[in-house]
Amino acid sequence: AVTSEVRVVRSAGITSSSVNGFRIQGIEGCDEHYEELADAEERCLEELAAATRHHARRAGTSSGDVKIRIDTEIARTAEGSELFIRRNYEAEVIGPPDLAVQVISE
């Protein structure tokens, strides 16, 4: 039996925009401006998970378990306050291939 795994990784990010809001990068069709980080993040997570599942199916696994890692980049101003720079998302699907090949020995 085949014991390998299919692994698909996709990434996206949210950056602050020049008009006091947020933009999603790395996901086709998600080019709107968001006033709230929470709204941008909700859309980013939904679309990133869906895209990762789609690519996993195309790669040969129907596993739908998406794990997402989040990393936020923050800078400090001269006054010591925090300034949001970017939030990075990395989604991963790992699953068995849908077609298993059996080798029959005689």
Per-residue pLDDT in tens (0 to 9) along the chain, 106 residues: 555 889 999 999 999 987 789 999 999 988 889 999 999 999 999 999 999 999 999 999 988 899 999 999 999 999 999 989 999 999 999 998 887 544 444 4
Query: Which amino acid belongs to residue 76?
Result: R
Rg (the chain; Cα; Å):
19
Query: Which amino acid belongs to residue 64?
Result: G
| pLDDT given for residue 101 in this prediction | 42
pTM, rounded to two decimals: 0.83
CB-CB contact of 10 with 83 (8 Å): no
Three-class SS of residue 47?
helix
